[in-house]
Amino acid sequence: MKHSFYLADEQATTELAAKLAALCSTATVIYLEGDLGAGKTSFCRGFIHGLGYVGRVKSPTYTLVEPYEIKNWRIFHFDLYRLSDPEELEFIGIRDYFEDDCICLIEWPDKGHGLLAAADLHISIEFIDHSRSLTVQANNEYGQQLLSDLAQK
Amino acid sequence: MRPNLTRNTTSTMRVIGIETSCDETGIAVYDEQQGLLSHQLYSQVKLHADYGGVVPELASRDHVRKIVPLIKQALVDANCTQSDIDGIAFTKGPGLVGALLVGSSVARSLAFAWGVPAVGVHHMEGHLLAPVLDEPAPEFPFVALLVSGGHSMMVRVDGIGQYEILGESVDDAAGEAFDKTAKLLGLDYPGGPLLAKMAEKGEAGHYKFPRPMTDRPGLDFSFSGLKTFAANTIRGSDQSEQSKANIAYAFQEAVIDTLAIKCKRALKQTGLKRLVIAGGVSANKQLRVEFALMMKKLQGTVFYPRLEFCTDNGAMIAYAGLQRLKAGESEGLSTKAQPRWSLDELPAI
């Protein structure tokens, strides 16, 4: 199941992300793909703020992962751009991040191929001049439920 | 300064510093009276044959395999042994939890085995105090701008542990914007320094980048928009080498200008005349030219740590740790890493 959304500007990106965040009801893994500057981190910022976090959502490019605790959730915002080998994930204890109370937002998931939990939703963002096209692929039943609810809203 | 081989007396303190907060494994030995005795970064070091002959290329953040040989080598280079060490300082946070835990476990265990205290150091405190490792050292108070691949932060420093965060990046760090824009221009990642080189061939006046968050009060930064602006500008250009150089020029000009506007504002707001700039971005030549001019106009002084201590290193951790050990601080056996830790939570000493 696949659905595309037209996003006129950054605000549209963060609003869609916040809607998706509100729909998550269990442990969730979301992959995000798109070129530099496409808006992956903006999407994650909208998602994390949408769950009620009020502080800064900084880029995790340098640290690889930024943790957040919101209500009963632990949110992990990954950016695997700087990985040169998926094996490096073992050195940061990647296996401990995919627990029942965790939502994992993972930018550049192909850099961690083989060591990441499977995605419920796979998002790709493309440039259309100054706006964006965001496509969501649902990979399982839970993902399909999320996507159909998101598309209806 | 060459270290001597005499046993330390209790009046002078000698400390090992261990930095493992992210990518680099950095180890240093610092002596209260003699200063820095040795420092090692895994990426630079040629480990001696005693520690395994040819050293294979180890993955980034594989601190476990790098840390012990580096500690041994740092002791050898400092002409001392474990019995000369009076304390161990390690980066407790902020950073990557898996990476921090390696440093804190090794540091705390070694300290236990050697019967000396261990102390946890805030990574950013290390960076703030790095210029004090060299002469002329800035006197307190000063304003510090930390700009690297991972951080963009303006801090008022009144003394050790007396920090007031004046502003920080709400999204990307300045160095990250350099590295990502470099990638968009077709350079290798991380290509900040290559972008600066490309900008030397660029001409002024062809492109105008925004100066994010300078049109409103406050000292926070935002660099994510510049990267997106660069992506759009590159796609809209003819992508010739000259156009790319012109874009690199305009991008660099915008970052430096933004940092300068904020620093000027911070100096005015605090009434201070001393400015410290640390972090990898402070190595940018054009930035140093612009800041020299600005500080001359403001009749102030700008300080930079030596280049190798602008990026992550063990020396700054050893120095900061020594100050805190002398003030009587130490960590219990149950010490943990602290991946999220704000600079303004630190106690003054």
Contacts of B348 (CB under 8 A, 6+ apart): B159, B160, B161, B162
d(CA B149, CA B230): 18
A contacts of B165 (beta carbons < 8 Å): none
Q: Do A88 and B62 touch (CB under 8 A)?
A: yes
Q: Do A93 and B97 touch (CB under 8 A)?
A: yes
Beta bridge partners of residue B296, listed in sequence order = none
d(CA A116, CA A98): 9
- Cβ B117 vs Cβ B106: under 8 Å: no
Domain spans of chain A, in order of start: 2-152
ipTM: 0.90
Q: Encode pLDDT of A61-120 as tens digits.
A: 998 999 999 989 999 999 999 998 898 898 888 988 999 999 999 999 999 999 999 999
pLDDT at A146 over 90: yes
Burial A103-120 (b: 16+ CB within 10 A, else e): bbbbbbbebbeebbeebb
Closest residue on chain A to B62 (Cα): A91
Q: Do A130 and B170 touch (CB under 8 A)?
A: no
pLDDT of amino acid A153 = 66
CA separation (Å) from A55 to A14, B221, B334?
15, 14, 29
Interface test with B, best of A54, A91, A108 (most B CBs within 10 A): A91
d(CA A79, CA A76): 10
| Coil, helix or strand at residue B71 | helix
Closest residue on chain A to B21 (Cα): A63
Contacts of B152 (CB under 8 A, 6+ apart): B146, B168, B169, B173, B174, B175, B221, B223
d(CA A83, CA A77): 15
Taken in order B196, B200, B202, B207, the sign of the CA dihedral is positive
Q: Which helix (H) or strand (E) holds B193?
A: helix B192-200
> Cis peptide leading into B138, omega within 30 of 0?
no
Q: Which two tokens stand for residue B264?
A: 């000027």
Q: Do B172 and A61 touch (CB under 8 A)?
A: yes
Closest residue on chain A to B172 (Cα): A59
Ramachandran assignment for A108, one of left (phi > 0), alpha (psi -120 to 50 degrees), beta (any other): left
Question: Shortest Cα distance from A90 to chain B (angstroms)?
Answer: 9
pLDDT of amino acid B9 = 46
Structure-token match 């000027």, residue found: B264
Strand order in the sheet with A121-128: A2-7, A131-138, A121-128, A28-33, A102-107, A73-79, A65-70
* Facing residue for B59 by CB, picked from A57, A87, A93: A87
A contacts of B180 (beta carbons < 8 Å): 36-37, 61
Binding-site residues on chain A for chain B (CB distance < 8 A): 35-37, 39, 41-42, 45, 56-59, 61-65, 67, 81-85, 87-88, 91-93, 127, 129-130
B contacts of A64 (beta carbons < 8 Å): 22, 96
Q: Encode pLDDT of B221-241 as tens digits.
A: 999 999 999 999 999 999 999
Nearest C-alpha neighbor of A29 from the set A146, A149, A111: A146
Q: What are phi and psi of B165, to 5 degrees?
A: -75, 115
Question: Shortest Cα distance from A127 to chain B (angstroms)?
Answer: 9
- Cβ B252 vs Cβ B284: under 8 Å: yes
Question: Shortest Cα distance from A91 to chain B (angstroms)?
Answer: 6
d(CA B53, CA B246): 47
Q: Do B99 and A91 touch (CB under 8 A)?
A: yes
CA separation (Å) from A79 to A86, A109, A143, B5, B277?
12, 8, 21, 47, 27
A contacts of B171 (beta carbons < 8 Å): 41, 45, 56-59
DSSP state of B348: P
**Top-level CATH class of A2-152?**
alpha beta
Question: Shortest Cα distance from B17 to chain A (angstroms)?
Answer: 21
pLDDT of amino acid A117 = 96
- Cβ B118 vs Cβ B85: under 8 Å: no
Nearest C-alpha neighbor of B213 from the set B258, B156, B159, B267: B258
Question: Shortest Cα distance from B45 to chain A (angstroms)?
Answer: 20
- Cβ B219 vs Cβ B156: under 8 Å: no
Q: Encode pLDDT of A37-69 as tens digits.
A: 999 999 999 999 999 999 999 999 998 999 999
The full DSSP string for A96-150 is GG--TTEEEEEESGGGGTTTSPPPSEEEEEEEETTEEEEEEEE-SHHHHHHHHHH
Binding-site residues on chain B for chain A (CB distance < 8 A): 22, 59-64, 95-99, 148-151, 168-173, 176, 180, 183-184, 189-190, 224, 227-228, 230-232, 235, 339-340
- Please work out, in degrees rounded to the nearest 5, the angle formed at the alpha carbon of residue B77 by the alpha carbons of B310 and B150: 20
* Facing residue for B98 by CB, picked from A41, A85, A93: A93
- Cβ A20 vs Cβ A78: under 8 Å: no
d(CA A55, CA A57): 7
Q: Do A84 and B59 touch (CB under 8 A)?
A: yes
Question: Shortest Cα distance from A37 to chain B (angstroms)?
Answer: 5
- Cβ A57 vs Cβ A66: under 8 Å: yes
pLDDT of amino acid B189 = 83
> Cis peptide leading into B339, omega within 30 of 0?
no
Closest residue on chain A to B231 (Cα): A37
* Facing residue for B171 by CB, picked from A41, A62, A83: A41
Nearest C-alpha neighbor of A116 from the set A144, A87, A73, A82: A87
What does the pLDDT profile of chain B (349 residues) look like in tens digits? 444 444 444 579 999 999 999 989 999 999 999 999 999 988 644 444 444 444 556 777 889 889 999 999 999 999 999 999 999 999 999 999 989 999 999 999 999 999 999 999 999 999 999 999 999 999 999 999 999 999 999 999 999 999 999 999 999 999 999 999 999 999 988 899 999 999 999 999 999 999 999 998 999 999 999 999 999 999 999 999 999 999 999 999 999 999 999 999 999 999 999 999 999 999 999 999 999 999 999 999 999 999 899 999 999 999 999 999 999 999 999 888 999 899 999 999 9
d(CA B215, CA B220): 12
